[in-house]
């Protein structure tokens, strides 16, 4: 018997700080539907916020921020990306930034990478599930 396909949720917004709350809400809703516990949902929401802030700073002229959340087995993978060319990505010294420290503290793995559309932040977290029936 094969396992079910991973659950995936995607959303796109204009690359402007005033729209980031939409991606935070999508992330929280998707995490709740994946039965993550309240603390994991909050960590995921904050991780999305930090990733968006870092991308908006690196690519101030990007037109789109895209969020993809996928549950695979015991992990939740989040990719936040933008279009545009930041020049150098990841930025030099990114491991010493507050955003990197926050993302590293909230997740099991964080990577700054390039997606087909441009720079991206990939976050992997162990899915701490809400106990059902309590």
Instruction: Tell me the CB-side half-sphere exposure of residue 102, using CA atoms within 13 A.
Output: 17
The fold adopted by the segment(s) 8-126 is Heat Shock Protein 90 (3.30.565)
Q: Quick one: pLDDT at residue 85? A: 82
What is the pTM for the complete model shown?
Answer: 0.87
- What is the per-residue pLDDT for 130? 63
pLDDT at 72: 85
Closest CA to 44 of 79, 10, 72, 13: 79
Q: What is the pLDDT of residue 6?
A: 59
Q: Say what the pLDDT of residue 134 is.
A: 44
Tokens for 106, please give them: 């909230």
Q: What is the mean pLDDT of each run of 10 residues along the chain (134 residues)?
A: 64 97 96 90 95 92 95 91 85 81 90 90 84 51
Q: Between vectors from CA 20 to CA 77 and to CA 10, what angle results, nearest 5°?
A: 40
Q: Among residues 65, 68, 48, 51, which one has the least CA distance to residue 6? A: 68
Distance, in Å, from the CA atom of 41 to the CA atom of 49, rounded to the nearest integer, reads 12
């Amino acid at each position: 018997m094969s396992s079910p396909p991973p659950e995936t949720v995607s959303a796109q917004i204009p690359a402007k700080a005033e729209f980031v709350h939409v991606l935070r809400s999508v992330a929280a809703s998707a995490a709740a539907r994946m039965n993550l516990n309240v603390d994991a949902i909050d960590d995921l929401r904050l991780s999305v916020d930090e990733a968006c802030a870092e991308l908006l700073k690196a690519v101030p002229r990007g037109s789109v921020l895209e969020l993809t959340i996928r549950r695979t087995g015991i992990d939740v993978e989040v990719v936040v990306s933008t279009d545009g060319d930041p020049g150098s990505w990841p930025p030099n010294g990114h491991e010493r930034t507050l955003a990197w420290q926050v993302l590293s503290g909230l997740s099991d793995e964080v990577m700054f990478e390039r997606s087909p559309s441009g720079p991206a932040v990939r976050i992997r977290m162990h899915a701490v599930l809400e106990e059902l029936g309590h």
